[in-house]
Chains A and B, each alone.
Chain A
């Protein structure tokens, strides 16, 4: 994981306010990235989902896109992968409009795993992963010497090498999701866009997949994932993009931007932000509506105790984020 701010900068008292809404076309907050959207309007059949949105995807970082259902997270991801053409504005890849690249050229730079890809029937894992090599092929060259290496690496990274001769349809949900990730890895694109990669996975497989994303980011890839779980996003991602109704409400490191006010503004959910006892990243604890004042007070006491405990731990532990 990337170095992140220490616990003290993100106690449960809001340190920073809600980051200003980005507007205009200039890149804001000094983020540089090879992939960026500039003032894009995104629409399906005339129904506008995002209007005048700008975002920079930081290179080499794990970015999580978070927001309520229907706020335009997936739509933004599709436009970054050039699947959806903005009706206004530009998506830029290395400061050039992404439309000016060939479709295979883009596929060699940016890989997208959609929310629900369809596994063809009677396909083996190795063959499915091999389809990720399409951007490197032509009509006459349907095989390149690098193919086998790329496929083997992708299978090894996702721990699916021993499944390569199995049919995709006979795998469990967790295995299948890893195989799909292997397919986009075989594409060998430096930027990976994953649309809700943890949805429909049980809790252990969710963490397995997030750890895989973190590993990929450590290996130098840029990872962008649409996630639903705020705590998982805060724990694994170094950069958070919070969206609401087609706009970006806040973006930055989770420890700097994640506040109770922001969560209430974006999700309409009252909550406390406390440090995660293990990773020290911000952790959101929802306040259930029926809680009376006493319970809230008790919760505040408890979180005060937690912080004290955490500070004690912090002085002991030199490697706060290690999981073992």
Chain B
């Protein structure tokens, strides 16, 4: 952490944190890109605020259509996209490090599929009694509990976690498909849009939910990040260095599940962000370990950019953003992987 390309950031005598130059540059670049996406989100299209009027509009929110776009239509949508993307990015970074598996993500332990099944159950079995997002949360919680119990060791054995997760996922997906088949075409289409993950018509209430979750869980994830560096080297070495491998693993999974559950509750099961964001981060920063902050920024960028495309590219009306995250994130990760194969570093 000290010898190659890092500076020690010191505040007084009690705070000293090494920061990598490359990571800092990357972080600032992603923040700049996020700001650009934010400006584009608010200004593009027929309802967009004129770019020259945007600074004034942000300071003093106007009334009329500009105010509506900013306060109701695109403002909360962008904030929800950023916060949800960040939550998914962190969740993926934690899962991938803890399971020592680059495919580790909340999808793998059945959380996303469980959320889908919960949403489906809510819309079919109890229409009106339970809202679809609440059903998704219950489904995610249910799937997590089933996985926790069926491993026999809780969250402490990564390999069992993945196997149990795949089993629970398969059952949840089967149930969801059954429900979609039973429903009328219109209902099925609505449910299907939700199951792919969507950010349309988000409110400040949604933003408060995901923002609140992030405010609590991001510091926790950062605090766990250093111990996760040790887990990467094997549990025995982590323990020998005082890193408490098992405790770190269990807490990381708890934080990751809470983050992705919060994300599911506001945006539905958005695929692929938690899988690709940490991988893209790792490849760009060329540093080992769970880069919590960088993964959060990358996740936020992927989701905000995908949502911008979903709003502005007139291919399909109201395209669910989940379709695009898979497209954008997947393509970029594919490009990075191909580049690495060509260089022979994989």
Chain A contacts to B: CB under 8 angstroms: 78, 81-83, 102-107, 110-114, 116-124, 126-127, 129-135, 137, 139-144, 147-148, 151, 164-165, 187
Q: Is A127 a contact of B4 with CB atoms below 8 Å?
A: yes
Q: Is B288 a contact of A144 with CB atoms below 8 Å?
A: no
Which A residues touch B16, using CB under 8 A? 140-144
Would you call B282 an interface residue if the criterion is a C-beta within 8 Å of the partner chain's C-beta atoms? Answer: yes
Given the complex of chains A and B, what is the CA–CA distance between A139 and B223 in angstroms?
7
Q: Is A131 a contact of B286 with CB atoms below 8 Å?
A: no
For residue A114, give the distance in angstroms from its CB to the closest CB of chain B.
4
The residue of chain B having its C-beta at the shortest distance from the C-beta of A138 within the complex is B14
Q: Is B3 a contact of A143 with CB atoms below 8 Å?
A: no
For residue B306, give the distance in angstroms from its CB to the closest CB of chain A.
27
Q: Is A120 a contact of B226 with CB atoms below 8 Å?
A: no
Q: Of A102, A106, A112, A127, which is within 8 A of B236 by CB?
A: A112
Q: Is A83 a contact of B240 with CB atoms below 8 Å?
A: yes
For residue A77, give the distance in angstroms from its CB to the closest CB of chain B.
10
Q: Known contacts A120-B289, A143-B8; decide if A137 and B3 are in contact (CB<8 Å).
A: no
Would you call B1 an interface residue if the criterion is a C-beta within 8 Å of the partner chain's C-beta atoms? Answer: yes
For residue A125, give the distance in angstroms from its CB to the closest CB of chain B.
8
Kindly name the residue among A114, A119, A187 whose own CB sees the greatest number of chain B CB atoms within 10 A.
A114
**What are 12 residue pairs bridging A and B, where the CB atoms are less than 8 Å apart in the complex?**
A83-B239, A103-B239, A104-B242, A112-B237, A116-B234, A117-B234, A131-B230, A134-B230, A134-B241, A134-B242, A142-B1, A164-B3
Kindly name the residue among B4, B15, B232, B241 whose own CB sees the greatest number of chain A CB atoms within 10 A.
B241
Q: Is B233 a contact of A118 with CB atoms below 8 Å?
A: yes
Q: Is A107 a contact of B236 with CB atoms below 8 Å?
A: no
Which A residues touch B75, using CB under 8 A? none
Which A residues touch B76, using CB under 8 A? none
Q: Of A105, A111, A151, A165, which is within 8 A of B2 by CB?
A: A151
For residue A195, give the distance in angstroms from its CB to the closest CB of chain B.
8
Q: Is A106 a contact of B242 with CB atoms below 8 Å?
A: yes
For residue A226, give the distance in angstroms from its CB to the closest CB of chain B.
13
Would you call B243 an interface residue if the criterion is a C-beta within 8 Å of the partner chain's C-beta atoms? Answer: yes
Would you call B287 an interface residue if the criterion is a C-beta within 8 Å of the partner chain's C-beta atoms? Answer: yes
Q: Is A142 a contact of B232 with CB atoms below 8 Å?
A: no
- A164-B4, A187-B241 are known; give 11 further A-B pairs, CB within 8 A: A83-B240, A110-B240, A112-B236, A122-B288, A126-B3, A127-B3, A134-B226, A134-B243, A140-B17, A143-B18, A144-B16
Q: Is A141 a contact of B15 with CB atoms below 8 Å?
A: yes
Chain B contacts to A: CB under 8 angstroms: 1-4, 8, 14-18, 100, 223, 226, 229-230, 232-234, 236-237, 239-244, 282, 286-289
Given the complex of chains A and B, what is the CA–CA distance between A165 and B226 in angstroms?
21
Given the complex of chains A and B, what is the CA–CA distance between A187 and B226 in angstroms?
16
Q: Is B1 a contact of A131 with CB atoms below 8 Å?
A: yes
Given the complex of chains A and B, what is the CA–CA distance between A117 and B239 in angstroms?
12
Which B residues touch A78, using CB under 8 A? 236
Given the complex of chains A and B, what is the CA–CA distance between A205 and B4 in angstroms?
27
Q: Is A141 a contact of B14 with CB atoms below 8 Å?
A: yes
For residue A313, give the distance in angstroms from its CB to the closest CB of chain B.
43
Which B residues touch A142, using CB under 8 A? 1, 16-18, 226
The residue of chain B having its C-beta at the shortest distance from the C-beta of A103 within the complex is B242
Given the complex of chains A and B, what is the CA–CA distance between A141 and B226 in angstroms?
12
Which A residues touch B4, using CB under 8 A? 124, 126-127, 164-165
Given the complex of chains A and B, what is the CA–CA distance between A3 and B87 in angstroms?
61
Which A residues touch B17, using CB under 8 A? 140, 142-143
Which B residues touch A147, using CB under 8 A? 2
The residue of chain A having its C-beta at the shortest distance from the C-beta of B223 within the complex is A139
Which A residues touch B3, using CB under 8 A? 124, 126-127, 129-130, 148, 151, 164-165
The residue of chain B having its C-beta at the shortest distance from the C-beta of A137 within the complex is B226
Q: Known contacts A114-B234, A187-B241; decide if A121 and B226 are in contact (CB<8 Å).
A: no
Which B residues touch A127, using CB under 8 A? 1-4, 288
The residue of chain B having its C-beta at the shortest distance from the C-beta of A141 within the complex is B16
Which B residues touch A118, using CB under 8 A? 100, 232-234, 237
Q: Is B18 a contact of A122 with CB atoms below 8 Å?
A: no
Which A residues touch B240, using CB under 8 A? 81, 83, 107, 110-112, 114
For residue B78, give the distance in angstroms from its CB to the closest CB of chain A.
32
Q: Known contacts A118-B232, A132-B241, A141-B16; decide if A148 and B2 are in contact (CB<8 Å).
A: yes
Q: Is B242 a contact of A140 with CB atoms below 8 Å?
A: no
Q: Is A102 a contact of B242 with CB atoms below 8 Å?
A: yes
Which A residues touch B288, using CB under 8 A? 120-123, 127
Given the complex of chains A and B, what is the CA–CA distance between A162 and B240 in angstroms?
27
For residue A76, give the distance in angstroms from its CB to the closest CB of chain B.
14
Q: Is B2 a contact of A122 with CB atoms below 8 Å?
A: no
Which A residues touch B223, using CB under 8 A? 139
The residue of chain B having its C-beta at the shortest distance from the C-beta of A125 within the complex is B3
Given the complex of chains A and B, what is the CA–CA distance between A106 and B239 in angstroms?
10
Q: Of A105, A119, A124, which is within 8 A of B233 by CB?
A: A119
For residue B332, give the distance in angstroms from its CB to the closest CB of chain A.
18
For residue A302, give the distance in angstroms from its CB to the closest CB of chain B.
45
Given the complex of chains A and B, what is the CA–CA distance between A129 and B14 in angstroms?
23
Which A residues touch B234, using CB under 8 A? 114, 116-118
Given the complex of chains A and B, what is the CA–CA distance between A241 and B230 in angstroms?
31
Which B residues touch A140, using CB under 8 A? 14-17
Given the complex of chains A and B, what is the CA–CA distance between A112 and B229 in angstroms?
17
Q: Which 10 A-B pairs have the closest CB atoms?
A: A126-B3, A104-B242, A120-B288, A107-B242, A112-B240, A103-B242, A114-B236, A123-B288, A120-B232, A143-B16
Q: Known contacts A107-B240, A135-B242, A142-B226; decide if A122 and B14 are in contact (CB<8 Å).
A: no
Given the complex of chains A and B, what is the CA–CA distance between A151 and B293 in angstroms?
27
Q: Of B14, B15, B239, B241, which is within 8 A of A131 by CB?
A: B241
Given the complex of chains A and B, what is the CA–CA distance between A297 and B273 in angstroms?
75
Which B residues touch A82, using CB under 8 A? 239
Q: Is B233 a contact of A139 with CB atoms below 8 Å?
A: no
Q: Known contacts A120-B232, A124-B4; decide if A114 and B226 are in contact (CB<8 Å).
A: no
Which A residues touch B243, using CB under 8 A? 103, 134
For residue B216, give the distance in angstroms from its CB to the closest CB of chain A.
16
For residue A141, give the distance in angstroms from its CB to the closest CB of chain B.
5
The residue of chain A having its C-beta at the shortest distance from the C-beta of B227 within the complex is A134
